[in-house]
Amino acid sequence: MTPFDRLPIGMNLARTAKLVAQAFDAALVEVGGTLPVWVTLLSVKSKELANQRELAGMIGIQGATLTHHLNAMEAQGLLTRRRDPQNRRVHQVALTETGEALFEKLRLEAVAFDKRLRAGLPDDRLAEFAEVLAALRANVGG
């Protein structure tokens, strides 16, 4: 038993989530990305063409933070933004060929990381864990 195991569940969960997120980000950096870039690419890819406001909500960040990420990603040639013809105040976001290629590299690494993370854990325990996580989210209103 480690000292973390004796922490209240909320603190233990927060610490574990932080460690897993750091390890995941490090794995993505190894193949040319970062966690914010991956989440942004994944969010855009899953919605063909998303506007910035929807994208910020899907990622769970503020609009100004998203704008910073999108500016950098656009400068790297990973995505394009254009004004919505129906509403000139809204920008639509789409991946470029370069963005699609990076998405695929990061997707493969995300799948490999998930496999390493699940190593040695039987499917029934993982299913139970998913249920516990869902219950914890429900308990905090999420």
Query: Which pLDDT tens digit goes with each residue over 15-50?
Result: 999 999 999 999 999 999 998 899 889 988 887 555
**What gap in Å lies between CA 70 and CA 100, rounded to an integer?**
15
The beta strands (E) that lie in the chain are given as 50-51, 79-84, 87-95
Considering the entire predicted model, what is its pTM? 0.81
At position 67, the amino acid (one-letter code) is T
Residue 91: helix, strand or coil by DSSP? strand
- All residue ranges of the chain with pLDDT < 70 are 1, 4-5, 48-51, 142
Q: What is the pLDDT of residue 50?
A: 58
**What gap in Å lies between CA 92 and CA 88, rounded to an integer?**
10
